[in-house]
Amino acid sequence: MERHPQVLLLCALIFITFFALLHLVEAQDQKGFISLDCGLSPTEPPYNDPSTGLTYSTDDGFVQTGKTGKIQKEFEPIFSKPSLKLRYFPDGIRNCYTVNVTEGTSYLIKAVFVYGNYDDLNNYPSFDLYLGPNLWATVDMNGRVNGTIQEIIHKTISKSLQVCLVKTGTSNPMINTLELRPLKNTTYNTQSGSLKFFFRYYFSTSGFTIRYPNDVNDRKWYPFFDSKEWTEVTTNLNINASIGYEPPQLVMASASTPISTFAPWSFSWSLPSSTSQFYIYMHFAEIQTLRSFDTREFKVTLNGKLAYERYSPRPLAMETIFYSTPQQCEGGKCILELTKTTKSTLPPLINALEVFTVIDFPQLETNQDDVVAIKDIQNTYGLSRNSWQGDPCVPKQFLWDGLNCNNLDISTPPIITSLNLSSSHLTGVIAPSIQNLLNLQELDLSNNNLTGGVPEFLAGMKSLLVINLSGNNLNGSVPQTLIEKKGLKLNLEGNSNLICPDGLCVKNSENGGSKKTNVVVPVVASVAFVVVLGSALTFFFVFKKKKPSNREGLSPYTQASDAGRTRSLEPSIMTINKRFTYSEVVTMTNNFTRVLGKGGFGMVYHGTVNNTEQVAVKMLSHSSSQGYKEFKAEVELLLRVHHKNLVSLVGYCDEGENLALIYEYMANGDLREHMSGKRGGSIINWETRLKIVVESAQGLEYLHNGCKPPMVHRDVKTTNILLNEHFQAKLADFGLSRSFPIEGETHVSTVVAGTPGYLDPEYYRTNWLNEKSDVYSFGIVLLEIITNQPVINQNREKPHIAEWVGVMLTKGDITNIMDPKLYGDYDSGSVWRAVELAMSCLNPSSARRPTMSQVIIELNECLTYENSRGGTSQNMNSQSSIEMSMNFDIETIPIAR
C-alpha cells in the first residue's frame, strides 16, 4: 500500500496533540497532589515523570537540612526519574519535612527509599520514620537493591504534616521521593488509628503494576494470580467504577474464579504478629455476561466466620465490601473464602483485594497554638537550630533545645511551659508572639542584643512566674503593671538604658558604683500568707464539720441534699473562665421574664450577655432529678470540647443553691418540636431532615473519636437536637455524658442512665456502656425523622417504634413507614437506605452496629440520592433490602429498590 508523507505527518501531529491533551488532563487531575523529588535542585523547574505523567518538584522549602546525592549510574536503568536523586541527613538525630495539608482530610502518604550506593560505601542504611510525634515505620534497606516504599493512609488533625527521618545507628537516613494524595473522606475510615499498607492485589495474569493515571488516587495495584487454583475472567467492556473507592478500569476488568465450579475461592496471608489488627477491602464487579438461567451467589467467610451470607456482584458495576471494625486472625494466619450457595450455578468471583494493618498514633501533637507561636518566634529571630524540627515537645527525646513542656497526660496535647533563648544572638525587639504561649511559666532571653522596650503584654501572661531579660540593650520605661505583678521573679540587670517608675528598678551594688536594673518581686510574703490562709481554712472546715450547717454559704464540697441534689464530696468546677454570679444571671434574663421551655434540669429562660449576644439560661430546679454531679459534668465537658455541631457553653453560675447553665441561643428550638408541629410553620422536608441528622451525627462522632478520652453522650434524642436560625443542628444536654475507656478496654461498667425508648437494651441489661449505646439511641432518632411517630405509642400494634417499623418492613411498602405529611416528596432509594441504616443501628448486639463514622457516610449517601432526584420521586422496583452481617459495610452505586 502506498503511504503519502503528508498523511503520515498529519497522523503524527494528531498523535502528538492527543498525548499533549492527555497530559494536560492528567495534570489537572493532580489537584491536591504533593510530589517531591527529594534532592532536586531548587533551580530546576518541576517536571513530568515520563512513566506516570505525575509532576514532581524540588523539596526545597519543605525541609531545612540535609545534603543531596544521586544513585550510581549502574542502578539508574532500574528506576524512574524521581528515584534517581535523594536527600540524606548526616547531621542531627531528627530531620523533618513539613507539608501544608487540609485539616481533617485523609491522605495516602508514600515515601520511596532507593539507596543505589549513592555514597560509594555499599552500606545500606537503617533508620526510623516518624509521622509527627509518632513512629510510623523502621526503614531497613539491607539487601533491598530495588528500594522500598512506606505507604500509609492517615487523616490529618492540623494544617501541617511532618514526616521525620530519625537516625538510630551509624548510617545516615535518606529519602528519594515523598508523595501525598488526598482521598475521599468517605473511604478508608477506621474506628481509630491509621492504615498501614499491607498489600493491594488485582487478580490478573497481566504482570503489570497499575498506578496513576489509571488510578486517580495514585494507588499502586500489584498483579497476583494462582494459576493452579484459579481461572481468569476478563472483559473489554466499560465498568462503572467512578464512585466510592474508585479502583481503576484495568483493575476491575479482570477477575479470578475457582477452576472447579464447586470449590471455594480461597486466599490466605500472614500478619506481622498474632495481635495485629487489619482492615480488608474487597472489590467486586460481574464482568461475565450471564445467561438467563445463570446465577452467581456466594457467602464470604474470614477464618471460618461468616461475614456475608449471600452476595451477588453487580453486572459491570463496581461494589466494595469492607469491615467497618478492625479484625484479627488467630495466630496471625488469615484465610478469606468465597463459597457458592446452593442457589448459585456459577463459582465465586473477585476482582481485587486490599489489606491494611492498623497503626495507632497515641502521642498527641503539641498544642497547635503553641506550635504556631514558637514557629513565629523562630522566624522572628531567624533561629536555625538543627533540633528545632518536627514537633516541639514530643517525643520527649527530641524535645527542642531551650524548651520544657508539660506532656504528662497523654490524653491532652503537650504545652510549652519554658522557653530559654539565653545567649542565642537574638536581635530586634522582644517578639510579640511570646504572648501567645499562654501556658509559659519561665522566659529567659538573657545575654542577647535585644533592643526596644519591655512590652506590657508580659504582665498579662497569667502563668508566667520567671522572666530573665538581663544582659540586653533594652530601653525606655518598665511597665508599672509588670513590676507590681505578684509572684513574678523579674531580672532586668544589665540594661543600662532601662528606666523603672519611681526608681524601683535602681539598686546600688555594695561598692556603690554601678547602676543595676534588677528586680525580684518578693513572693515570700505571698507564700507565708497562703500557708496561714490554708491553715485557717483547714481549721474552719474541721470545726464546721462538727456542727450542723444552715443553707447559706455552703462550700462546693459539702452541700446539703435537697430533693436528690447531693453535692457531698463533689469537687467544684476547676475553671472560672466563664463563671457568672447569680446577680449577673438575674440581670441577663431580665429577672427571668421570658421562658423558652422546661426540661428535666429545670426552666429555660431567654437572656442576653452584654446586651448583644442572645443566650439560653437553664436554671436547676430544686425538684430536679438531675443534681450537681450532672451539672458539673456538663460544664466541664463543654468547657473542653468545641465542635460546630455541639451547643456551645457561654458560661455557668455556681453560687450556693443557684446553679445555671448559659448556652448559645438556638432560635429554632429542638427537633421534636418541629416534627410534632408545635412550633407551627411548614413541615420539614426530607432533605432538611437528612441534613439535620447528618450534623447531629457529626457532633456525636466528634464525642466518640475527637475527644481524648472519648465521650459517650448517653441521652441522644430528638429533644436534645437543637436548631439555630439557619436550621443548623447541634447536640445538647451533656449532663449524663461519660468518658469511654481506651487502651484496649471495650466498655465501662456504670449505673444505667438515659431516656426510656432511646435506651440501648444491651446497656440496660449488662450495665456495660460503650459508644455503640449512643449509636442505638441515634437509630431511634433516625426512625423518628423517617416516620414522625412517637417512640412509645401504646395504641400501636407494637408500642416501641423499632418493633413497629420491623413489622411494617415485612409488608415491603415504604409508604406505610414514611411520614405521610411529606406526601411522597422524597427519593424512595434514599428512604430505604436510611431505614436500613436505622435498623442496623438498632442491632441487639452492639458489636454489630455501625460506628458513627460509618453512619455519617451512609447518611451522606442518602442525602446524595435525595439531591440527585431533581425534585421528583422515584418509584420502587423492588421491596427487597440488602441482607448483610452488620460487621460489614457496603459501598454501592445508586439503584432503584
Pick out the residues of the known binding site for ATP. 618
Please state, in angstroms and rounded to a whole number, the distance separating the CA atoms of residues 801 and 778: 13
Q: Which residues contact 643 (CB under 8 A, 6 or more apart)?
A: 698, 699, 702, 706
Pairing outcome for strands 603-609 and 613-619: antiparallel
Give the helix, strand, coil percentages of the chain, each rounded to 5.
Answer: 25, 25, 50
Residue 37 pairs in a beta bridge with: 58, 177
Alpha-helix residue ranges (DSSP H) falling in 382-464: none
List, in sequence order, every beta strand (DSSP E) within 273-426. 278-284, 298-302, 305-311, 319-323, 333-340, 352-359, 403-406, 415-420
Binding residue ranges: 618
The C-alpha cell 510574703 sits at 525
Number of continuous H segments (helices) and E segments (strands) in the chain: 14, 47
37, 218, 670, 715: the catalytic one is 715
Nearest to 588 by CA among 661, 495, 696, 513: 661
Phi, psi of 570 (to 5 degrees): -80, 120
Please state, in angstroms and rounded to a whole number, the distance separating the CA atoms of residues 477 and 483: 11
Write out the H or E segment, with its range, that includes residue 619. Answer: strand 613-619
Please state, in angstroms and rounded to a whole number, the distance separating the CA atoms of residues 279 and 827: 32
Give the long-range contacts of residues 602-611, CB within 8 A, separation 24 or more: 606/665, 607/662, 609/650, 609/651, 609/662
Q: Give the SS3 label for residue 176.
A: coil
Please state, in angstroms and rounded to a whole number, the distance separating the CA atoms of residues 649 and 632: 13
CA-to-CA separations, 119 to 30, 95, 124, 125, 174, in angstroms, rounded: 34, 19, 10, 11, 11
Cis amide leading into 479 (omega within 30)? no
Please give the single-letter amino acid code of residue 289.
Answer: T
Please state, in angstroms and rounded to a whole number, the distance separating the CA atoms of residues 215 and 219: 6
DSSP 458-517: GGG-TT--EEE--SS--EEEPPHHHHT-TT-EEE-TT-TEEE-GGGTTEEE-TTS--EEE
The C-alpha cell 442572645 sits at 614
740-753 core/surface letters (b: 16 or more CB in 10 A; e: else): beeeeeebeeeeee
Is position 360 annotated as part of the catalytic site?
no
Written as nine digits, the cell of 85 is 536523586
- Do 224 and 202 touch, CB atoms closer than 8 A? yes
Please state, in angstroms and rounded to a whole number, the distance separating the CA atoms of residues 311 and 317: 14
**In angstroms, how far apart are the furthest CA atoms of the chain?**
118
Please give the single-letter amino acid code of residue 574.
Answer: M
Q: Just list the catalytic residues.
A: 715
